[in-house]
Structure 1
């Protein structure tokens, strides 16, 4: 098995009988309205990937993990002329991804249910599908030539890895996201010290998720992929050089892992786009001459930004007053449409304000309780959520050139909230498409309907808790305990305080923790491991599976 790194989360995996191209993101226009660019740049690989997919011989597959445009690149895929290959996509409840490929003109499209195997000569491809409400993702495994590659990219399936490895056996090469891909705290108006503290906590939480995945998977090699993008828009360029943010590069992760797990035999690899790894020997068959290093990173980014400056010149334009007024009215209509479909509107206890930078005295105020969107001259509520955005950016959402989540990931907005508490319904209202609002509400209710309980030991005491995380339903039987009191969700690392009834530190959700009756037998505990710097001391007590 040979694995060619295509940049970001992209790979081309070749076995004796098959080729699998995974998430090729190669367009020079980047993603999320060009806010994200590939790092390192990989546009030069587009002809090579087209050649691989167009050349007959082996059975050829194109795998797209989910709809985010740093994984699903329609601009690049449109350039492929000969499409006699099979497309593999996860079978989500929303059929948009497979509908797109049904019209693409390829050999066939296979929409895979969770854990479906696609046989290939000497092995198989298997997809793992994760869908919680409107959060849709998947991961892929390729087994062939006596080796196995598991690529979970961005997929939040950490609570499933124990079962997957038990069923699938040894993994040679493993890849998982290690860098942030969210607009918090990047777009929030925090003081610098608070921004750094939040970023550091989120960064180390992501690193810890990778560390725990490696402890479970025990691969021979880990490829650092789905890492940070390059932010080349002049308004975002500073993000590349912040001392602390949620976009670390691979050497920072490796330093963490070496301190956290000094005896783990796994090799840590940071390939450049175009490097080819032999999965058997774990040696690079070929490596490209240009390397991005800690020493040349700053110079590399400045050159890259200069080369791509034309992209951002072309997207700028000044709006006339009449255009701003029209966009303002269309935005108000869009927000009202969302609100009309938001069945859980009465759960949101604060209003949401939207300010167009071109019309600062004409704020839109979304009143969730009254289910109204009104125009006001100023923010009059102390408790509120607020967004500031330019009309020239938000109109691209209204014109359906990008969806709401893509817009949020463009980072071309400023957000604030008081109190500084994550409100899932409001968050969903902002990020979900109009047509997905009802499904979003149904997903929350379905998660809340899971009442199964399990037992956890912490600080020498035993508690019964809800087994499934109230956020997105992760199985807390695969969670862990930190500082002798906090149950940690394995999917998003939310902490629930057992000494405070299982209340969440992130928002007001709870696991409804209660003291459990003592039992004579001892609860099995995992081995303690030295934590990395800045990570809380970890009590490795596992959460027990429920008793039948």
Structure 2
């Protein structure tokens, strides 16, 4: 990305993010007023809702809304905005990207009895799914895309923290769990993606292209796909006995809005396009680019 790209910044109380990006060589910045739609030219509109409570981290967090005349997208990531009506007013949205899994190590990294970890972990899992569902219902987008989580533990000592068996006390449910949760609660609009998936939205329609016909294999057989055959010592002693590898969900046998390598929900011709991040964890934090007639904008 060219360092002359204009960077859209949230209305944070501190300039830490701007300073960090300037240190990387970026020179053009534009602060957007909190929650207010801004016309960027060429039919492109954007709004960034900033949050800065202690739970949102040292500099804050934000949700980004973008519309180009063919589609409207909300990338909430792991932000927890309170201005639900203000965000909804920017829509109606074609797609809503949001986190659904815990972003902290509570209670797994704490010295607690196994029973206490199970109780607190069960609450964290349940609360995270319920909170994400409330955001989904407040926004009312035509399509919902789980992203920005869960955490991925690759070390042997931590590997079993991953949601390999679908245990109800694991605070890190994966994308398929949230999709099934939404389906059970009357929300069939969820879209499951994997690294390399490309989504194209236009006027309420969605086209999904997966990188391979067997893109959902990692969800069907988590342990064998990851090449691990034993539980990690860091979590195994605190885990209740399970039935073995978790079977595939209904959403895996008929994934919503995307079967095999390609599925078209309509006949899109617009240009609103999102590509899932390629990284070891299978998910990535936001990096959204939007192109208009007057240049390229980036919000990260």
TM-score per shorter chain, which class? 0.5 to 0.7
Contact 2:63 2:76 in 1 (8 A): yes
Contact 1:102 1:109 in 2 (8 A): no
Shift of the alpha carbon at 1:273? 1.8
Which residue of the partner structure matches residue 292 of structure 2? Answer: none
Contact 1:161 1:217 in 2 (8 A): yes
Which one has a larger percent helix, Structure 1 or Structure 2?
1
Shift of the alpha carbon at 1:250? 1.6
SS at match of 1:253: helix
SS at match of 2:60: strand
Correspondence list, 1:220-239, <5 A: 220-239=142-161
TM-score normalised by length of structure 1? 0.38
Shift of the alpha carbon at 1:118? 5.0
Distance 1:150 1:267 in 2: 15
Distance 2:220 2:35 in 1: 43
TM-score normalised by length of structure 2? 0.67
Query: Highest CA radius of gyration, 1 or 2?
Result: 1
Question: After superposition, what is the alpha-carbon deviation per residue over 1:115-149, rounded to whole angstroms, capped at 9, x for unaligned?
Answer: 24251411212111111254610110110133100
Name the CA shift for 1:191/1:135 in 2 (closer, same or farther; >3 Å). farther
Count, aligned residues: 218
SS at match of 1:101: helix
Shift of the alpha carbon at 1:204? 1.1
Which residue of the partner structure matches residue 62 of structure 2? Answer: 138
Distance 1:120 1:196 in 2: 52
Distance 1:83 1:135 in 2: 23
Shift of the alpha carbon at 1:214? 1.7
Distance 2:23 2:32 in 1: 18
Moved over 6 A (4+): none
Quick one: which of 222, 230, 242 aligns to 1:297?
A: 222
SS at match of 2:63: strand
Quick one: which of 71, 77, 86 aligns to 1:163?
A: 86
Unaligned 5+ segments in structure 2 are 229-233, 235-300
SS at match of 2:83: helix
SS at match of 2:190: strand
Correspondence list, 1:463-482, <5 A: none
Distance 1:107 1:287 in 2: 36
Which residue of the partner structure matches residue 46 of structure 1? Answer: none
Which residue of the partner structure matches residue 102 of structure 1? Answer: 22
Question: After superposition, what is the alpha-carbon deviation per residue over 1:442-497, rounded to whole angstroms, capped at 9, x for unaligned?
Answer: xxxxxxxxxxxxxxxxxxxxxxxxxxxxxxxxxxxxxxxxxxxxxxxxxxxxxxxx
Which residue of the partner structure matches residue 93 of structure 1? Answer: 13
Quick one: which of 287, 294, 309 aligns to 2:210?
A: 287
Quick one: which of 50, 59, 73 aligns to 1:129?
A: 50
Name the CA shift for 1:169/1:145 in 2 (closer, same or farther; >3 Å). closer
SS at match of 1:214: helix
Name the CA shift for 1:229/1:120 in 2 (closer, same or farther; >3 Å). farther
Shift of the alpha carbon at 1:201? 1.2
Correspondence list, 1:10-409, <5 A: 53=1, 82-116=2-36, 117=38, 119-133=40-54, 134=58, 136-157=60-81, 159-165=82-88, 167-240=89-162, 241=164, 243=167, 244-260=169-185, 262=186, 264=187, 266-280=188-202, 281-284=205-208, 286-289=209-212, 291-293=215-217, 294-302=219-227
Distance 2:87 2:215 in 1: 35
Correspondence list, 1:440-479, <5 A: none
SS at match of 2:227: helix
* RMSD of equivalent CA atoms: 2.2
Question: After superposition, what is the alpha-carbon deviation per residue over 1:518-539, rounded to whole angstroms, capped at 9, x for unaligned?
Answer: xxxxxxxxxxxxxxxxxxxxxx
Shift of the alpha carbon at 1:153? 0.5
Distance 2:39 2:112 in 1: 48
SS at match of 1:102: helix
Unaligned 5+ segments in structure 1 are 1-52, 54-81, 304-410, 412-548
Name the CA shift for 1:275/1:147 in 2 (closer, same or farther; >3 Å). same
Shift of the alpha carbon at 1:151? 0.8
SS at match of 2:179: helix
Which residue of the partner structure matches residue 13 of structure 1? Answer: none
Contact 1:292 1:300 in 2 (8 A): no
Asked which structure has the greater RCO (Cα within 8 Å, sep 6+), the reply is 2
